[in-house]
Amino acid sequence: MASRRLIYLPFWAVYVFLYAPIAVLVVMSFNAGKSPYVFEGVSLKWYGELAGDETIRQGLVNTLIVAAGSTVLSTVLGTLLAVGMARYARSRLLDALGLLPAVLPDIVLGIGLLVFYRAIQMTLGLHSIILAHTVFGMAFVAAVVRTRLVHADTSLEEASRDLGATPLVTFARVTLPGLAPGIAAGALLAFTLSLDEFVIAFFTAAPTEPTLPIVIYSMVRFGVTPEINALATILLAVSFTVIIVAQRMTRLTESLT
Minimum distance, C-beta of residue 253 to another protein, in the bound complex (Å): 16
Nearer CB in complex with another protein: 239/253: 239
Which one of 50, 66, 67, 81 is in contact with another protein (CB under 8 A)?
81
Minimum distance, C-beta of residue 184 to another protein, in the bound complex (Å): 19
Binding mask 15-54 for another protein (x = CB under 8 A): x-xxxxxx-xx--x-------xx-----------------
Q: Is the dihedral angle over the CA atoms 169, 172, 174, 176 positive or is it negative?
A: positive
Residues 79 and 183 sit within 8 Å (Cβ to Cβ): yes
State the burial class of residue 77 (Cβ atoms within 10 Å of its Cβ: 0-12, 13-18, 19+). middle
The reply on whether position 67 binds another protein by CB under 8 A is no
The residue among 127, 136, 235, 242 whose CA lies nearest residue 190 is 136
How far, in Å, CA of 60 to CA of 67, rounded?
Answer: 10
Which one of 33, 112, 125, 178 is in contact with another protein (CB under 8 A)?
112
**Span 169-188, contacts to another protein by CB under 8 A:** 171
Nearer CB in complex with another protein: 66/135: 135
Minimum distance, C-beta of residue 52 to another protein, in the bound complex (Å): 20
Minimum distance, C-beta of residue 115 to another protein, in the bound complex (Å): 5
CA dihedral 75, 78, 79, 85 (to 10 degrees): 180
Which one of 52, 92, 162, 177 is in contact with another protein (CB under 8 A)?
162
Write the DSSP string, 149-196: HHHS--HHHHHHHHTT--HHHHIIIIIHHHHHHHHHHHHHHHHHHHHH
Nearer CB in complex with another protein: 240/252: 240
The reply on whether position 161 binds another protein by CB under 8 A is yes
The reply on whether position 221 binds another protein by CB under 8 A is yes
How far, in Å, CA of 205 to CA of 110, rounded?
Answer: 10
How far, in Å, CA of 221 to CA of 214, rounded?
Answer: 11
Write the DSSP string, 54-110: HHHHHHHHHHHHHHHHHHHHHHHHHHHHHHIIIII---HHHHHHHHHHHHS-HHHHH
Minimum distance, C-beta of residue 98 to another protein, in the bound complex (Å): 8
Nearer CB in complex with another protein: 113/126: 113
Binding mask 116-155 for another protein (x = CB under 8 A): x--x-----------xx-xx--x---x-------xxxxxx
